[in-house]
Structure 1
């Protein structure tokens, strides 16, 4: 399949949702040529290209960056406050299509929207209830960076997916994640939200928002719509 046909297929696939806010598909591959932007907890800003990225149980365990002056540094997740990594390959195409719509109303002003528009993935150091509800600081990929002002939805690196969509053997859109980590403004840490538990969790999560309490549209696939509606209620 050539690039024109692939892009046409992508456009046809996503045109129906062009005006809806969507959770981004998680990205796993990053450019080794385009500049990455990393801010450490002590305020130090590092720009450079990725030389190597190691994962452990799905989470980033170490990232090696070659700075603009040619020096190489190895960074651990606990040292990083936030970072913007440039995508590569089909990850970039998928992410761009997922982020077709604009949501200035719900933007988190602390996130660089220009870099997101340029195809970057945003990670931040977040407190998470992880493994037996133990609170840990983890470097998490934010999946709703354009509408995360009230509720943040992070990729669960251990999540399974529902069926994906493909054309000609090429995966164009990943299936729905079966779990995410979610954090509201008043929460101490992000917690794991599973698809199978969403019916029970729905009213607890969105308590105080009449629009969501009165809605019969409570499907897991509409989680992003619920996040936006809850933001409107605040």
Structure 2
């Protein structure tokens, strides 16, 4: 009987301590944390819009992206048609420093259709992001795909270009998404939370699936004590990742660099 009583006391004490350690956020803070601040990820470049490729030798080429060769969705080669000479060249990712491409109209249409058939989508993918005519920024990056292969160079879409000073986040074309639910054929509610990204901090680039978030939380944010106090791991959710990267950046940069 005493042992049972002690077990109950210990469980209550642990539960009370755990509750104390969790941070409670205001409605305004939770709204911010649930907002998706990353750019939308696209997989199919447009073939009829003038794009820009900048090679490592410093030369800049304007033309049409007529095709790509990919590995695990990441661009390994670009077939590029010069906008003036009509000459076609194939550039390996190892030759390219960065590229400014456009998303395929068909892919945009498909994503907009998905948006309207899935109410909420984890507060992700505003129609403005999906239909924007802005160029998409790709960066040469050396990475081990899914943390399993030897490192290779690819062109990867940077999806936080406005706040990538410390942590750069790249689109994972093979990322899965959480599913919403619907009743009687009505538009689905919820879902649409991206389950993996590629992330760079310092010289380290890794594939970050949701299942590895806790393991890498210290690596990503642990050098900012103020941030860790405000956002301890047990108080946050994976689908807040974009807001966490944004706030970490704002809290870590000198004020004159924000």
**How high is the TM-score relative to the length of structure 1?**
0.71
- SS of 2:94 mapped into structure 1: helix
Contact 1:127 1:135 in 2 (8 A): yes
CA drift of 1:198 comes to 1.2
What is the CA RMSD across the aligned residues, in angstroms? 3.3
Aligned to 1:145: 161
Question: Quick one: distance in 2 between partners of 1:39 and 1:165?
Answer: 44
Question: Quick one: distance in 2 between partners of 1:41 and 1:170?
Answer: 47
Q: 1:230 to 1:24 in 2, by over 3 A?
A: same
Question: Quick one: distance in 2 between partners of 1:65 and 1:211?
Answer: 47
Alignment match of 1:135 (pick from 145, 151, 157): 151
Spell out the pairing of 1:84-233 with structure 2 (5 A cutoff): 84-89=100-105, 91-92=107-108, 98=126, 118-130=133-145, 131-132=147-148, 134-163=150-179, 175-184=192-201, 187-214=202-229, 215-216=231-232, 217-233=235-251
Q: 1:220 to 1:90 in 2, by over 3 A?
A: farther
Question: Quick one: distance in 2 between partners of 1:203 and 1:159?
Answer: 23
Stretch moving more, 154-163 or 190-199? 154-163
Question: Quick one: distance in 1 between partners of 2:89 and 2:162?
Answer: 30
Aligned to 2:256: none
Q: 1:99 to 1:218 in 2, by over 3 A?
A: farther
Where in structure 1 do 4 or more consecutive aligned residues deviate above 3 Å?
A: 90-95, 97-101, 129-135, 168-171
Contact 1:165 1:175 in 2 (8 A): no
Higher percent of residues as helix = 2
Larger radius of gyration: 2
CA drift of 1:183 comes to 0.9
Q: Does 1:27 align with 2:45?
A: no
Aligned to 1:110: none
Aligned to 2:24: none
Question: Quick one: distance in 2 between partners of 1:212 and 1:139?
Answer: 31
Q: 1:75 to 1:205 in 2, by over 3 A?
A: same
CA drift of 1:219 comes to 0.8
Question: Quick one: distance in 1 between partners of 2:64 and 2:104?
Answer: 13
- SS of 2:244 mapped into structure 1: helix
Contact 1:64 1:74 in 2 (8 A): yes
Higher percent of residues as strand = 1
Question: Quick one: distance in 1 between partners of 2:215 and 2:204?
Answer: 20
- SS of 1:176 mapped into structure 2: coil
Q: 1:201 to 1:36 in 2, by over 3 A?
A: same
Q: 1:118 to 1:232 in 2, by over 3 A?
A: same
Question: Quick one: distance in 2 between partners of 1:99 and 1:210?
Answer: 36
